Every structure is written in C-alpha cells, then in structure tokens.
Amino acid sequence: MQTIKAAVCRAFGAPLQIEDIRLRAPQMGEIEVTLDAVAICHSDISFAEGAWGGTLPAVYGHEAAGVVTALGPGITGLAVGDSVVVTLIRACGTCGNCAGGHPTLCETPYDGDAGPITTADGGTLHQAMACGAFAEKVVVAQSQVVRIDADIPKDAASLIACGVITGVGAVVNAAGLRAGQDVVVIGAGGVGLNAIQGARIAGARRIVAVDMSAEKLEIAKDFGATHGILATDPKPWKASYKALGGRGADAVIVTVGAIPAYDQAPRYLGYGGKVVMVGMPHSGATSSYEPVIFAAVGQGMVGSKMGDVVIQRDIPWMVDLYAQGRLKLDELISGRWRLDQINEAIADTKSGSARRNVIVFHNEGN
C-alpha cells in the first residue's frame, strides 16, 4: 500500500475534502497511472451532489491522463513510462455487448467499494466510475486506458477521456451522421462543443447550436457551428427550421441534462431524423413526447453512453486529429487548477461559464 492525496466526497452536496488515502498495487490485468491532469465533468458534480445515489465516502473523477508507473500481472502492450488516457470504460471483453463491439455497455458489474483505494485507516472508500481520478494516482483495468504519444499535452489529452469521445462519438457513432446532413446540438458546453466539432469533422452541411447563453453560441461558431439560436426564444425550433433552409434536422444531439431540452428536442427533427440523448437528468426526472409523430414520419430517439466508442479504435484517430490541428482541445480548457483548489474549480464549472476546468498535478494552477 502507498499513501496518496485525493479529493474525497464524504457527504452529498458538501465540499470535497483533500485527504491522504491508501492505494494498493495493481493486480492481474491492472495498471497504475500517476496522473498529470484530470478534468472536471458535470457527471462528477452530479454524483457528488447525490443526483444518482451511490456509496460514500467516494473519490470521483474519470477524465484523466498520465504516465504508467506500475504494471500488474498479465499486462501486454504497455510499459512503465508510457503516456496514457484513462477512461471510465471498464470492459470485460467477453460479455455479449463487449463481444458485439459495444464496450461502453459492458454487462459485467464493477464493485467500486472493493476497488484499489481505502481511507487512511483502511476503511471502505468507493472508487467512483471505476476511476477515482480526483487523486494523484489511480489503479485501473488495462481496458480503461489508451496509450498516446508522450508529446501530447496531458491537460488536453485528459479531455479526450470523456467529453471529447462523448460529444464526437454521439455524432459519428450514435447518430451515424453522413456528409451533407444537418445537425442541431442542444447545449454548447464541453460535450456540446465536441458534438459540434464532431459534426464539422463528419462533413455536416449545417450545424445549429442551441443554448441559453449568447456568449456560448459565439464560442460554438469557433468550433464549427454555422448558426446559433438562443434557447430562450419562444419557439427556437422554428428558428432552426429557417436556418436549415425550411427543413428539420437529420440529427438532434441533446448534451444537457435538462428536461425542457428533452421535451423540445423532437420538434427540431426532420423526416426520418433521430434524437440522440447524451445529457443525463437527475434520476426520477421524466420527459414527454407524442409517439404517433415518431411513427408517422420515421423518427427515433436513442441513448448514447460515452459516444458509443471503442476507445482503442476511436481515441487514436481523435489524437491524430488534434495533432493535425483538426480537433480543438486546448481551446476547451477554461482554467487549470491544483488539487487543493478543486472546490473552487467545481464552483466555476457550476457557474455555467466554463468549458472544461482541469486539475493539474506537478504544475502551477491558475
């Protein structure tokens, strides 16, 4: 066992506490990664607020990058010193979904209470989302990591682990967007901006961003949006139809966990269009729609978890796009913070103005 620093959640809705915790050595099929950066995702905040339940105390954080510092038995293809992206996608590789090419839907449960971390006195400490990356180091399954070039900045690389693959993947994998089609992206935050640039990369004809903030809509245009519409407009879907030349969208990507956004999403669709549900409302929240319309004009709704990615396939090409200047990552970072500033970074994220705040280790924060 070694002792590391981590931000621990001991009560839902309370500030995280910086504590010493214990981390065991990697076991069969696991690796230890010393982190250089971990981004703050809205999912971490929702979990820490108790939106979806879970065990406490817990360490959240799941969007990370660092360097391999130890290997458990059975590891192949990785070496100590390798730079890696760390994701929450822990895939067994043998269940029906994994074998069918859908590792984000792995059916093998993971018990975060029996993971590699404990409190300083040896008590149970939940490794949330199979990562627990609000910490100096993590021990995770090899299936959760992808090796990257050492010269890729870790703060930028950390974003790929969730926000980027979720947004880009929702367009490319879940929506199956073809070149020349039209897209509406509801929400121009971190995931929404990635859906927008995913649509641009995929060759969308027109990309309409919808958000409550005029400032965010301007930023969305930097990422590839051709039009911006305020969600506060009385009937924003009518403005979208006008922007799309008098027709509905082929795909509507909902990247916010807001029920009004889900209630309105089908209104933006054209014939045969599809709503892709990415943003996650709190448990118990419900939305409503008219099934007859979907049936009559061949529309659909589908959930997308983590962009339906296969990380060993999708992350390398996204890293290449970044290296080529075709995928924006640095521009997504709103601020860099130290671990002991994590509550300030979370508050800044909750303010709605941030794209992605990143906790950096071994470096100065903002």
Separation of alpha carbons 257 and 272, rounded Å: 24
Provide the pLDDT for residue 348. 92
What's the token pair of residue 142? 């090899």
- The pLDDT profile of the chain, 366 residues, written as one tens digit per residue, is 899 999 999 999 999 999 999 999 999 999 999 999 999 998 899 999 998 888 999 999 999 999 999 999 999 999 999 999 999 999 999 999 999 999 999 999 999 999 999 999 999 999 999 999 999 999 999 999 999 999 999 999 999 999 999 999 999 999 999 999 999 999 999 899 999 999 999 999 999 999 999 999 999 999 999 999 999 999 999 999 999 999 999 999 999 999 999 999 999 999 999 999 999 988 899 999 899 999 999 999 999 999 999 999 999 999 999 999 999 999 999 999 999 999 999 999 888 777 889 999 975 444
Provide the pLDDT for residue 363. 54
Separation of alpha carbons 196 and 22, rounded Å: 40
Provide the pLDDT for residue 171. 97
Separation of alpha carbons 168 and 39, rounded Å: 17
Provide the pLDDT for residue 155. 96
What's the token pair of residue 199? 């649509």
Count the neighbouring beta carbons within 10 Å of the beta carbon of residue 67: 16
**SS3 sequence of 190-215:** HHHHHHHHHHHHHCCCEEEEEECCHH
The class that CATH gives domain 167-305 is alpha beta
Count the neighbouring beta carbons within 10 Å of the beta carbon of residue 81: 9
CA distances, 32 to each of 51, 146, 236 (Å): 30, 13, 48
Provide the pLDDT for residue 366. 41
Provide the pLDDT for residue 362. 74
Provide the pLDDT for residue 42. 87
What does the domain layout of the chain look like in residue ranges? 2-151+329-360, 167-305
Helix axes 190-202 and 214-222, enclosed angle (nearest 10): 40
Provide the pLDDT for residue 184. 98
CA distances, 300 to each of 170, 225, 307 (Å): 14, 23, 17
Separation of alpha carbons 145 and 75, rounded Å: 12
Predicted model pTM: 0.93
Residues comprising the chain, all counted = 366
Superfamily of segment(s) 2-151+329-360: Medium-chain alcohol dehydrogenases, catalytic domain (3.90.180.10)
